[in-house]
Structure 1
């Protein structure tokens, strides 16, 4: 029997389904485009798609992700969120019945040259202030007029993307006003709300909402809002593999960045940046050991981290469970201690970590 390192990522299917229900509760009149790009935010794209089958559509980053879903038998609408990366991809878009975004003149030119005989679902992206992808507001009316000259009229969905819906209310409202002014009186569906706007800005829900991180039970803690209705989908666990006492003044780990101020009981956990635990997590980052919060101490190594277990010295044992994030410890909180965001931690779990699917009993 093969024994694996203790670190494992547990994926809770019921939490995924519950979070999708919460999206519907927030935006009951909108269709849901579930964003499952980047391997389902690190949770496994097809596994996530199966549990989110009640969504109205899926959002992916590239055509290879879309084709993978089609080959697995998913018949949902699938949107290429960045559109096409080359003109030759149109053949695959038509073959696999994909929706796609156009956000720039070269993509529009490709579409205008396309010889096709069926209506396409074209999501036209406006740059309302994020200045990443999208047509500038002053160019948008001309883009629509150009699309209307196509022999086969496309089904146009107008969209934009918030830059800081969970951080800056003022700028978010500016973007919403810009979007409203440009699309007022237009026929066709509209889409604007990401996870933060789904929860905080009903005026942005429109016809389609596009939840991403909230489906996985995480959100941006910079707003100070706890997403209590949402459930963490991934719980990253490991075990205590070593225990020892050290004296006051002695250090732990590479670079001697942490020194004991008193006699301390140090535990080693089998997880590190080789598994996707953030290398830049600082001393004091919380970890749950045997259900109790303890602080990370010293630098994160490739395969190990160390924690201060002095307060648990009378009870902790080799093999005790440790939770790095997930149930009982929000991934957002860990990300904050590592000066990053939950998205990066969830997407960064490496291939050597076994995935354990948790189903309802």
Structure 2
């Protein structure tokens, strides 16, 4: 018999979440961000569920090629652009849109032999200080690109470091306006948080990521509770063992948890080798037999332990939801000191995945 852990990808939730984004974005076009293998959901498994999008945004050429070879005809944006000049031949062959964030990329475009111009997203550093040109450098970079025969339509893009905050876009927008002075072009600025909460940033293209998969860009599920967004991934397993503890007895490696009274506990076939956070502390929520309960003790490689006090009828074989509709991935992440993004992306290859309509 196969180990009982399974991740379910909900196609209907992906379609629904895209429709929520469409409503929030108004007239703006949508780049659906599917980087990191669609945030751990599996690009090959899910892209057709998001096929009503206007374009896909990602990082890896391999994933862009996969989309083209599986039949996607509409735009694909490389969010970090190309990493070496020789990759421009691939961008040309598969007709990919590329971000440009460095002078060496401009030089590479000038020297490339292409069959047709490539569309360009010129990246502005709005204060996040990762990739992009400083505002005072943007006009010069824009003119250099505009003068190249290898460059087609140009769009200004940027990214927000604090868009989940009410005032988090004020200074970035000031920097973007400074950079865009005397430049008339389409713009793509809004990430998930800005798409939901800052409509003044929407412009021509929005770039939602985490909200397509039903988690919150703030890391707090309550912040998106009114949006109707639904989790696109459920991680479940089963109780494979039951123990009865006496007062003072410990659980798991290091006995990080000790029972204060008699206590019934269940062993679940899920551990950090499956992608569950090893640093999840006692008290991390799980859902079993219609009740919300918590983990106790350290997370092992292949198992974790839960308190069965709230669910006395549980038996070996009872299903356990690690995250999904009843336990939001944001809540598991918050308890573990991380974000839902990491848990999605960390789903281990050994976990079987099924796709549900």
TM over 0.5: yes
Rounded to whole Å, the distance in 1 between the matches of 2:267 and 2:224 is 30
Superposed CA deviations along residues 275-325 of structure 1, whole A, max 9, x for unmatched, are: 001101010000001121111000000000001102322x11111110000
Task: Summarize the alignment of residues 121-270 of structure 1 with structure 2, pairs less than 5 Å apart.
Answer: 121-166=119-164, 168-219=165-216, 220-222=218-220, 225-228=223-226, 229-270=228-269
Structure 1 residue 117: deviation in Å?
A: 4.7
Unaligned residue ranges in structure 2 (runs of 5+): none
Is 2:10 aligned against 1:12?
A: yes
CA contact (8 A) 1:243 1:266 kept: yes
Rounded to whole Å, the distance in 2 between the matches of 1:69 and 1:129 is 32
- Pick closer, same or farther for the CA change 1:14–1:120 going to 2, 3 Å: same
2:330 to 318, 329, 332: 332
Superposed CA deviations along residues 228-273 of structure 1, whole A, max 9, x for unmatched, are: 4100000000011111211011110000100001100010000000
Rounded to whole Å, the distance in 2 between the matches of 1:119 and 1:88 is 16
Rounded to whole Å, the distance in 2 between the matches of 1:188 and 1:141 is 12
CA contact (8 A) 1:244 1:265 kept: yes
SS, match of residue 107 in structure 1: helix
Rounded to whole Å, the distance in 1 between the matches of 2:123 and 2:290 is 46
CA contact (8 A) 1:239 1:319 kept: yes
**Aligned residues between the structures:** 355
Structure 1 residue 25: deviation in Å?
A: 0.6
Rounded to whole Å, the distance in 1 between the matches of 2:103 and 2:145 is 12
CA contact (8 A) 1:269 1:305 kept: yes
SS, match of residue 294 in structure 1: strand
Is 2:61 aligned against 1:69?
A: no
Structure 1 residue 185: deviation in Å?
A: 4.8
Structure 1 residue 119: deviation in Å?
A: 2.5
Superposed CA deviations along residues 111-131 of structure 1, whole A, max 9, x for unmatched, are: 122233522110000001000
Which residue in the other structure is 1:86 paired with? 84
CA root-mean-square deviation: 1.3
> Scaled by the length of structure 2, what TM-score is found?
0.97
1:40 to 38, 46, 63: 38
Is 2:66 aligned against 1:60?
A: no
SS, match of residue 156 in structure 1: strand
- Pick closer, same or farther for the CA change 1:140–1:176 going to 2, 3 Å: same
Structure 1 residue 164: deviation in Å?
A: 1.6
Superposed CA deviations along residues 130-187 of structure 1, whole A, max 9, x for unmatched, are: 0000011111010011112213552101100111211x33342110222123224533
SS, match of residue 280 in structure 2: coil
- Pick closer, same or farther for the CA change 1:318–1:40 going to 2, 3 Å: same
